[in-house]
Amino acid sequence: MRNLDPKRAKWIRFRMGLLCGTMSLGLGGFVSSAFRVQVEDGASWKETAENQRQRRLHVEPKRGAIYDRNGAALAASVEVPSISGDVVEMLRGIEGAPAQSVALQDLTVRIAAALRLDPADVHAKLTPKRRFVWLKRRVTAEEAQAVRDLGDPKKSMKPVKGLAVEGEGRRYYPGRDLAGALLGFVAPDGFGKDGLELSLDDELRGRAEEVRGLRDRSGRLIFSEGSTDESAFAGHDVQLSIDEGIQHVAERELTVAHGTYETKGASIVVLDPSTGELLAMASVPGYNPNDYGDSEPLARRDRAVTDRFEPGSVMKTFTVAAALASGSLTPNETIYCEHGSFKVANVTIHDTHENDWLTPTQVLAKSSNIGALKIGLNLGEPLMYAAYRRFGFGEPTGLPLPGEAGGVLRPRGRPWFEVETANASFGQGISVTTVQLAVAMGAIANAGKLMEPIVVRKVTDARGAVLKEWTPHVRREAVPASVAKTVAEMLTAVVEEGGTGVEAAMNGFRVAGKTSTAQKVDPATGKYSEDKYTASFVGFVPAEKPRLVIAVVLDEPMIGRYGGDLAGPVFRRVAEASLRYLGVPPTDGAPKIKNVTRSLDVADATISALKASAVLSGGSAASSASREGEAALARPPAPVGPPVASDVRVPDALGMGTHSAVRRVGSAGLVPLVEGTGRLVKQVPPAGTSAPRGSSVRLVFEPAS
pLDDT top residue among 667 and 158: 158
pLDDT top residue among 188 and 558: 558
Task: Give the integer Cα–Cα distance in Å for 196 and 199.
Answer: 5
Task: Give the integer Cα–Cα distance in Å for 123 and 135.
Answer: 10
Instruction: Report how many domains make up the chain.
Output: 4
pLDDT top residue among 40 and 307: 307
Q: Which residues contact 129 (CB under 8 A, 6 or more apart)?
A: 87, 88, 91
Whether 101 maps to a domain, the answer reads yes
Query: Residue 275's pLDDT band (boundaries 50, 70, 90)?
Result: very high
Average pLDDT over residues 37-46: 75
Catalytic residue among 77, 274, 283, 313: 313
The model's pTM is 0.73
Indicate whether 64 and 36 sit together in one domain: no
pLDDT in tens, 439-454: 999 999 999 999 999 9
User: Catalytic: 313?
Assistant: yes
Which of these, 351, 330, 332, lies nearest to 340 by C-alpha position? 351
Indicate whether 182 and 327 sit together in one domain: no
Q: Which residues contact 581 (CB under 8 A, 6 or more apart)?
A: 245, 246, 249, 607, 610, 611, 614, 621, 622
Whether 554 maps to a domain, the answer reads yes
Which of these, 513, 489, 640, lies nearest to 564 by C-alpha position? 513
Average pLDDT over residues 387-392: 96
326-354: b (≥16 Cβ within 10 Å) or e:
bebbeeeeebebbebebebeeeebebeee
Indicate whether 232 and 281 sit together in one domain: no
Task: Give the integer Cα–Cα distance in Å for 504 and 566.
Answer: 10
CATH of the domain at 62: 3.90.1310.10
Whether 362 maps to a domain, the answer reads yes
pLDDT in tens, 81-120: 889 999 988 988 888 888 889 899 999 999 999 999 999 9
Task: Give the integer Cα–Cα distance in Å for 398 and 452.
Answer: 8
Query: Residue 512's pLDDT band (boundaries 50, 70, 90)?
Result: very high
516-525, 614-623, 686-695: range with highest mean pLDDT: 516-525
pLDDT in tens, 594-639: 544 343 333 344 434 443 444 333 333 333 333 333 332 233 333 3
The CA-based angle 412-552-533, given to 5 degrees, is: 60
Whether 635 maps to a domain, the answer reads no
CATH of the domain at 530: 3.40.710.10
**Amino acid letter, residue 509:** F
Per-residue pLDDT at 227: 47
Indicate whether 598 and 514 sit together in one domain: yes
Task: Give the integer Cα–Cα distance in Å for 551 and 491.
Answer: 14
Indicate whether 378 and 520 sit together in one domain: yes
Task: Give the integer Cα–Cα distance in Å for 32 and 209.
Answer: 41
Which of these, 519, 644, 539, 543, lies nearest to 594 by C-alpha position? 644
Query: Residue 50's pLDDT band (boundaries 50, 70, 90)?
Result: low
- Which of 590, 623, 656 is the last residue in one of the domains? 623
Indicate whether 116 and 67 sit together in one domain: yes
Residue 160 belongs to domain spanning: 56-198+206-240
Q: Which residues contact 109 (CB under 8 A, 6 or more apart)?
A: 119
Kindly list the distances between the CA atom of residue 404 and the CA atoms of 137, 201, 304, 378, 435, in Å, as whole numbers in the listed order: 33, 17, 9, 33, 10
Kindly list the distances between the CA atom of residue 316 and the CA atoms of 168, 513, 662, in Å, as whole numbers in the listed order: 54, 11, 32
pLDDT in tens, 656-681: 887 778 778 877 877 777 777 778 88
Average pLDDT, the chain: 84
Per-residue pLDDT at 640: 31
Instruction: Report whether 212 contacts 54 (CB < 8 A).
Output: yes
Indicate whether 77 and 225 sit together in one domain: yes
Kindly list the distances between the CA atom of residue 381 and the CA atoms of 322, 327, 351, 415, 504, in Å, as whole numbers in the listed order: 11, 15, 22, 8, 32
Q: Which residues contact 303 (CB under 8 A, 6 or more apart)?
A: 181, 265, 266, 267, 283, 434, 553, 555
Average pLDDT over residues 466-481: 95
pLDDT in tens, 585-596: 987 666 666 544
Indicate whether 619 and 659 sit together in one domain: no
Kindly list the distances between the CA atom of residue 276 and the CA atoms of 241, 270, 333, 445, 621, in Å, as whole numbers in the listed order: 10, 10, 33, 11, 17
Indicate whether 306 and 422 sit together in one domain: yes
Does residue 189 carry a pLDDT above 90? Answer: no
Whether 246 maps to a domain, the answer reads no
**Is the four-CA dihedral 680, 685, 686, 689 of positive or negative sign?**
negative
Task: Give the integer Cα–Cα distance in Å for 583 and 31.
Answer: 88
pLDDT in tens, 227-271: 445 555 678 999 999 999 999 999 999 999 999 999 999 999 999
Indicate whether 400 and 517 sit together in one domain: yes
Indicate whether 596 and 652 sit together in one domain: no
Which of these, 188, 186, 183, 226, lies nearest to 208 by C-alpha position? 226
Per-residue pLDDT at 659: 73
Per-residue pLDDT at 667: 74
How far, in whole angstroms, is CA 485 from its chain's centroid? Answer: 32
Query: Residue 75's pLDDT band (boundaries 50, 70, 90)?
Result: very high
Look at residue 695 and give its three-state secondary structure: coil
Average pLDDT over residues 201-227: 62
Average pLDDT over residues 327-341: 92
**Is the four-CA dihedral 315, 320, 321, 326 of positive or negative sign?**
positive
Q: Which residues contact 464 (CB under 8 A, 6 or more apart)?
A: none
Per-residue pLDDT at 60: 65
Whether 489 maps to a domain, the answer reads yes
Task: Give the integer Cα–Cα distance in Å for 400 and 381.
Answer: 32
Whether 472 maps to a domain, the answer reads no
Indicate whether 659 and 588 sit together in one domain: no
Residue 78's CB is within 10 A of a number of other CB atoms, namely 10
Does residue 4 carry a pLDDT above 90? Answer: no
Average pLDDT over residues 350-368: 92
Kindly list the distances between the CA atom of residue 2 and the CA atoms of 11, 13, 327, in Å, as whole numbers in the listed order: 13, 12, 137
